[in-house]
Amino acid sequence: MPADWLAPTDLKQAAAVQRELARRVVAEGPPGPVRTVAGVDVSNFPRDPTGRVFAAVVLLDAGSLKPRATATAMRVAPIPYVPGFLGFREVPALVAAFAGLPERPDLVLVDGHGVSHPRGLGIAAHLGVLLGLPTIGVAKSILVGHPAGELPPAKGATVPLSWNGREIGTVLRSKDRVAPLYVSIGHKVGPAAAPDLVLRCCTKYRLPEPTRAAHEAANAFRRHWAAENA
């Protein structure tokens, strides 16, 4: 694996890497039963010139949605945040965090888009391909594309997310009368299965439990790090 795959020289090269990795995305799966689900997220210091990213991954039981293990890792992002290139900032730290997990999850829910991305490689697909794990992108807002119709207000409602005449994801109502989530496959997951898998992780909040747990873990990790490095 070329070094610039993790730390590209410029955005032009980064885009080329994304197009290459996008070819390796597998749009079907999961290959087996989903007994465990992991949630991943990254926390940052506001206006931090050093660009430190604090990553966390939480493994939970897919049935009870109870946390089973947590792992964290801190890295310095190789590039600043630029829409369309989020993966280069967060994936290295997330991969490092996964190394600290006691076991590999059957599925991973990622904060951000999967293939609903300008070059078909949002952070969920990026992470999935590098880890070789089934991943789904769960974003809170749109990067590219438009909802193909009006989304009903009830939890579980869906409508396709289209872009240039192509269906790239699904707009999903994860809770009654709240802003929808934008779901797209990351890697080793089929487009039809993705929305159901995400909904299965949603209880009483807008965001799925794995994502909520990871968000909390990443914030706790960052605060803990700050307290010991004062």
The answer to whether 131 and 91 are in contact (CB under 8 A) is no
Span 43-72, contacts to DNA by CB under 7 A: 43-46
Only one residue has tokens 């990254």, namely 42
Residue list, annotated binding site for Mg(2+): 41, 111
Q: Which of 8, 112, 180, 210 binds DNA (CB under 7 A)?
A: 112
User: Residue 66 is encoded by which pair of tokens?
Assistant: 């109870």
* Shortest Å, Cβ 112 to DNA: 3
The burial of 85, by beta-carbon neighbours within 10 Å (0-12 exposed, 13-18 middle, 19 or more buried), is given as buried
Span 127-156, contacts to DNA by CB under 7 A: 137, 139-143
Reported as type and span, the H/E element at residue 188 is: none
- Binding residues for DNA, rule CB under 7 A, total 28
Q: Which of 52, 75, 117, 212 binds DNA (CB under 7 A)?
A: 117
Question: 64 or 228, CB closer to DNA?
Answer: 228
User: Residue 146 is encoded by which pair of tokens?
Assistant: 């438009």
8 upstream amide cis, omega within 30 of 0: no
Instruction: Tell me: does residue 111 bind DNA (CB under 7 A).
Output: yes
* Shortest Å, Cβ 84 to DNA: 5
Reported as type and span, the H/E element at residue 46 is: none
Question: 62 or 207, CB closer to DNA?
Answer: 207
Instruction: Tell me: does residue 225 bind DNA (CB under 7 A).
Output: no
Stretch of 5-13, 79-87, 162-170, 190-198 lying at the interface with DNA (CB under 7 A): 79-87
**158-163 sheet: strands from edge to edge:** 67-76, 52-61, 36-44, 107-111, 135-139, 181-187, 166-172, 158-163, 146-147
Question: 103 or 178, CB closer to DNA?
Answer: 178
Question: 71 or 124, CB closer to DNA?
Answer: 124
The answer to whether 185 and 198 are in contact (CB under 8 A) is no
Q: What is the binding site for DNA (CB under 7 A)?
A: 41-46, 81, 83-87, 111-113, 117, 122-124, 137, 139-143, 218-219, 222
